Amino acid sequence: MNITKLIIPAAGIGSRFLPITKSIPKEMLPLSNKPAIEYIVQEAYDAQIKHVGIILSPEKNVIKEYFQSNTHLDKILAEKNQEYRVASINNLIESINFSYYYQYNPAGLADALLQAQNFIEPEEFFAVALPDDIIFDSSPEILNLMHIAQTYKAMVIAVQEIPAEHISSYGVIAIDQQINDHCYKIASLVEKPAQQDAPSNLAIVGRYIFHHDLFSYIPKTSLTTSTEVLLPDTINLMIQQGYSVYACKVKGQRFDTGTPQGWLNYMLNHSNF
């Protein structure tokens, strides 16, 4: 099984960062001197993934511009012998094929993924990474999950132990079976449960390996507590239909840069920049 594509959903309105996200996409906020989304594309590159599909809203085309070459800037930098300033982003631009898809109404993560279904072939497994979750590890987190998916020929979700008082900000797994020290077979998932209803302390962090079949189950998912289809509900439906889904704990250090506090935490931890 070969996993060669990554989808990055980046169409949300960035409500937790308003008002700056009125005109600057959350994914373009700087972590040191790079936008958050570049770390995700770099992780894909490090995992040998060469096809990246980004889901945007029409107001967020600055993300698309960032991943296009800027020959005018390159020429000015070349004259000053300062090409090194853009060497790493230019390497990503040259190495990766970018495709763009649009979500016109912010109807949640499952609906966003559905917009990119033509990016994936039937029977293909693919990776998804949420740009809020920046993970540093000796090997890229996406690659760790790809190995598990290849071993079990199944879908895999990254999880992390989260203190009880923060669990209601996450999707949370219920364990069917522990496979080894860091992997579990999932019984079911629940999106953002109240602290007392959380089925475990294992929260979904934004890395997934999915199968193309996911796209056919999103429209079949019934709306339970929300007005939008929740991705964990779609995965529950697939588990009920006999799909095996695994969860593996992230090995690296994770920063949740999707909130101003988490963003600040990242910046303070990297203050030697």
Q: Nearest distance from residue 112's CB to ligand G1P, in Å?
A: 10
* Gap between the Cα atoms of 203 and 174, Å rounded: 10
Q: Which two tokens stand for residue 89?
A: 């982003």
**Span of 57-65, 117-125, 201-209, 244-252 interacting with ligand G1P by CB under 6 A:** 201-209
By the 10 Å C-beta count (0-12 exposed, 13-18 middle, 19+ buried), 96 is classed as middle
Q: Nearest distance from residue 86's CB to ligand G1P, in Å?
A: 29
At 248, is the secondary structure helix, strand, or coil? strand
Choose which of 149, 203, 245, 247 interacts with ligand G1P (CB under 6 A).
Answer: 203
**Span of 126-134, 146-154, 173-181, 194-202 interacting with ligand G1P by CB under 6 A:** 126-134
Choose which of 6, 109, 148, 158 interacts with ligand G1P (CB under 6 A).
Answer: 109
CA atoms in the 13 A half-sphere facing the CB of 256: 16
Contact (Cβ atoms closer than 8 angstroms) between residue 137 and residue 46: no
Choose which of 191, 245, 246, 263 interacts with ligand G1P (CB under 6 A).
Answer: 191
Per rule CB under 6 A, is residue 204 in the interface with ligand G1P?
yes
Per rule CB under 6 A, is residue 130 in the interface with ligand G1P?
yes
Closest to 242 (Cα-Cα) out of 199, 211, 270? 211
The residues binding ligand G1P (CB under 6 A) are 109, 130, 132-133, 170-171, 191, 203-206, 256, 258
